[in-house]
A and B are shown apart, each in its own frame.
Chain A
């Protein structure tokens, strides 16, 4: 079983729609959780950290369910500029970030 699992997509969503991604992780002792965004042929960039209480940043909402070991990302009112690959990232200890395969999202005009 992979440490972090994501649906690779692709998700093709019309502009203005709401889209949700889920991610599961295997290590129950994982401590930190993030969503990174990666544009084509670019480096990953932090989109948002994910907290147990859930957190929101504009059109983006992230949720963490420790009991079920999954993380979600919700994008509302999607824009063309949201087209990218979204990477679920889990951190155990202080050594490394463990990335999922990434979910590819394309927003269609």
Chain B
């Protein structure tokens, strides 16, 4: 079975642009979470979706938004990009809730110039 897949793997954007990152969870997993990992830090929680509904939101500005589709895949959108948005964006897939094992995708490395 395929693991969590994210696309694209690498992305370079300029300040002010918008970006959409995509994630496909493991088959059968209904919960998808997004994390931002800045170099030298642990991942920081952005959003969690379960059964297409937002279940949690981290301390990120409104420029960050996300959604989950009927097939449980998810998109993370970031508007008006800032240099500080440069990071590895990780998608995590869990069967039900995050109390069970979370499987991470390989991430999307976003560079804002």
Contact = CB atoms under 8 A, between A and B. Distances in A.
Nearest to A98: B45
B45 A44 contact: no
A97 B45 contact: yes
B90 A44 contact: yes
Interface in A53-109: 87, 91, 94-102
A12 interface: no
Contacts of B105: 43
Interface residues of B, number: 24
Nearest to B48: A95
Contacts of A101: 40-42
Interface string B40-69: 111111001000000110100000000000
A95 B55 contact: yes
B25 interface: no
Does more than half of chain A's interface fall in helix, strand or loop, or is it mixed?
A: strand
Contacts, number: 56
A42 B44 CA distance: 16
**Which of B97, B102, B103 is the most central at the interface, judged by chain A CB atoms within 10 Å of its CB?**
B102
Nearest to B43: A99
A42 B106 contact: yes
A21 to B, nearest CB: 13
Nearest to A42: B106
Given A4-B42, A97-B92, 14 more contacts: A32-B98, A43-B104, A46-B101, A46-B103, A49-B101, A91-B98, A91-B99, A94-B99, A96-B45, A97-B35, A97-B45, A97-B98, A97-B102, A99-B35
